[in-house]
A and B are shown apart, each in its own frame.
Chain A
Amino acid sequence: MSEHPKFHLPVMLPVRPVATSTACLVATLSSRWGLLAILSGLALCLGLEQAWAQQDMAAFSIWEAIVKWTPLIFWGTGQGLGGFVLNIWVSVLAMTIGTCLGLMLGIGQVSPHRVLRWPSWAVTQLFRNSPWLVLLFYFMMLLPYEIRILGFSVPFSGWFKATVALSLPVMANISEIVRGAILSIPTGQWESAESLALTRRQTMWRIILPQCVKRMIPPWMNWYCILVMSTPLISILGVQDAMTLTQDALAAEGRMELLIPFYLWLMLWFFAYTYPIARWTRRLESRFAVKL
């Protein structure tokens, strides 16, 4: 699915590689308008504050509430990891695990041995086609709270289990990216490596994969953005991430006029974090685009 579409008919222009990873695309030229939308929504709420304040004289201003709760939502409660920092940490860790496993799986998918190729394909399809939330539930519910290795008990905290769960769909999608990239390398590269008496392993690691890296980076970054967008799902399972803490803050304040600004404020953080990555991805994609 994720190889570059190629077209025979000269009548058609090559498709712009908008969907390199096909699943979805975060990078968009028009994203600055999204930022504008969030900011103007926020500004509108702050402007409406005047009207609210007249209705309820005891009310703090919306700004004060945001300033008051922002450290909590950003850093968490101070006991262990939490808040937006946890979202980022989970995404980085899940991406690292997912990339390592996905690389193995992707290489397995193009293996000449059926015993390796078939299971790799099956695992990839299994995790690519299951919903993230179902996987999260699955691993949160079924992984133990701690494991015992040689008498030591290693605790599995909620966020770590969530990281493991989130790394699996990433793994499957990275596997597809790796497979697509390996298949997109011209056969001549394999043949010339063979004529130089390189083994298959040498060919893979020294000839093929280095050439794949360039093709894999934009979709890989794209998947990182998608992963970051999925991290709030861990709040459903009770991990103290930015989403949970925002809701806690809103519950503690119990004021209706805060609802819209607080959610917009949270969205703005995610936007501010992923938007530069998305723009960068877009730039790399157009730079690495295969010119036909």
Chain B
Amino acid sequence: MATIADFFHWLAAKRGYNFSIFYDRFDGTQFLYGIWTTIHLSFFCVLLSVLFGAIGVWLQRSSFEPLRWLVGAYVGFFRNTPPLVQLYFFYFAVDPVLSSALGVKGGLLSNYGWALLVLSLYAGAFNTEIFRSGIEAVPKSTCEAAEALGYTPLQIFRHVTFPLAFRVSFPAMTSNLVNLIKTTTTAYAISVAETLYVANRIWSDQFNVFEMMNVVWVVYLVLVGLFLAFMTRWEKALRVPGFGRSK
């Protein structure tokens, strides 16, 4: 560790490339915390957005019409307005108004909480549509065949509809989730201490915008790359022979 620190010290002193995060303990820890925040924010957002997507598609298929309207309004609202404005709207407008109306001191959720909720809702709206198209791709005759074999509706969903729909939705879902991970940077705007925010704090102290900007870029490329690699492997593992992309 000492040699790495020494090297970056030397680089800063002699070459003028100040990667302070590699030799300054304070900056280094701060930056690691930033990356860690990005990782768990992305992780929970991904989980929640898939959950919202599943709930959305479930409500959308209910026979109770107002529920379908509700899902339609949710999807339409979150898909056709900018995510940054959504974030500001919930954090700067909905939170203070609601908390003053309810008499809660200090806001309903923290900035992290709102970022998590709003970004999940945002990606969840897209997931709803993706899952819906996946379920629609499962032919009726397959379900009818299962019914003829004596499957109950729940069993049909568990053993026929879901496995096929999930595989159909998988590629679109992956790119939506990648998009979600990229969008977590927007949480910067409400000062969630994620990678970009922390990097900003560091370059304000150290005046090393160029170095930090490149480090941040690489960090995101690595994070997205790891996620994509994981999802691609999972997709391969899920592949059913005779079904899937022709390649």
Find out whether the CB atom of A37 lies under 8 angstroms from the CB atom of B73: yes
CB proximity to A under 8 Å, residues B74-97:
74-86, 88-89, 92-94, 96-97
Q: Is the interface of B mostly helix, strand, loop or mixed?
A: helix
Q: Assess whether A142 is interfacial by the CB under 8 Å rule.
A: yes
Q: Assess whether B50 is interfacial by the CB under 8 Å rule.
A: no
Out of B81, B179, B221, name the residue touching A24 (CB < 8 Å): B179
Closest to B184 in A: A131
Given contacts A36-B73, A235-B84, contact A129 B225 (CB under 8 A): yes
Q: Which size class do A's interface residues fall under?
A: 35 or more
Q: Assess whether B192 is interfacial by the CB under 8 Å rule.
A: no
Cα distance A216–B100 when bound, in Å?
A: 49
Give every chain B residue within 8 A of A12 (Cβ-Cβ): 137-139, 164, 168, 243
Among B75, B88, B97, B224, the most chain A Cβ lie within 10 Å of the Cβ of B88
Find out whether the CB atom of A15 lies under 8 angstroms from the CB atom of B93: no
Tell me the minimal C-beta distance from A113 to chain B in angstroms.
23
CB proximity to A under 8 Å, residues B220-246:
220-221, 224-225, 228, 242-246
Given contacts A37-B76, A259-B97, A264-B89, contact A5 B178 (CB under 8 A): no
Q: Assess whether A153 is interfacial by the CB under 8 Å rule.
A: no
Find out whether the CB atom of A30 lies under 8 angstroms from the CB atom of B133: no
Cα distance A243–B243 when bound, in Å?
A: 46
Tell me the minimal C-beta distance from B214 to chain A in angstroms.
8
Find out whether the CB atom of A24 lies under 8 angstroms from the CB atom of B82: no
Out of A16, A34, A129, A134, name the residue touching B75 (CB < 8 Å): A34
Q: Is the interface of A mostly helix, strand, loop or mixed?
A: helix
Out of A23, A30, A130, A229, name the residue touching B83 (CB < 8 Å): A229
Give every chain B residue within 8 A of A133 (Cβ-Cβ): 185-186, 188, 196
Cα distance A8–B75 when bound, in Å?
A: 32
Out of A14, A142, A263, A270, name the residue touching B80 (CB < 8 Å): A270
Q: Assess whether A132 is interfacial by the CB under 8 Å rule.
A: yes
Closest to B187 in A: A133
Find out whether the CB atom of A243 lies under 8 angstroms from the CB atom of B171: no
Out of A8, A36, A129, A256, name the residue touching B97 (CB < 8 Å): A256
A-B contacts, 26 of them at CB < 8 A, read: A1-B171, A9-B243, A13-B137, A15-B134, A16-B136, A19-B133, A19-B175, A23-B179, A28-B75, A28-B79, A31-B80, A34-B79, A37-B76, A129-B178, A129-B221, A131-B183, A131-B184, A134-B213, A137-B196, A225-B80, A232-B84, A233-B186, A260-B89, A263-B88, A271-B81, A278-B79
Q: Name A residues whose Cβ lies closer than 8 Å to a Cβ of B.
A: 1, 5-9, 11-16, 18-19, 22-26, 28, 30-38, 126, 129-134, 137-138, 141-142, 225, 228-233, 235-236, 243, 247, 256-257, 259-260, 262-264, 266-267, 270-271, 274-275, 278
The list of the 10 closest CB pairs from A to B, nearest first, reads A34-B76, A30-B72, A33-B72, A259-B93, A19-B172, A37-B73, A33-B73, A131-B182, A263-B89, A18-B133
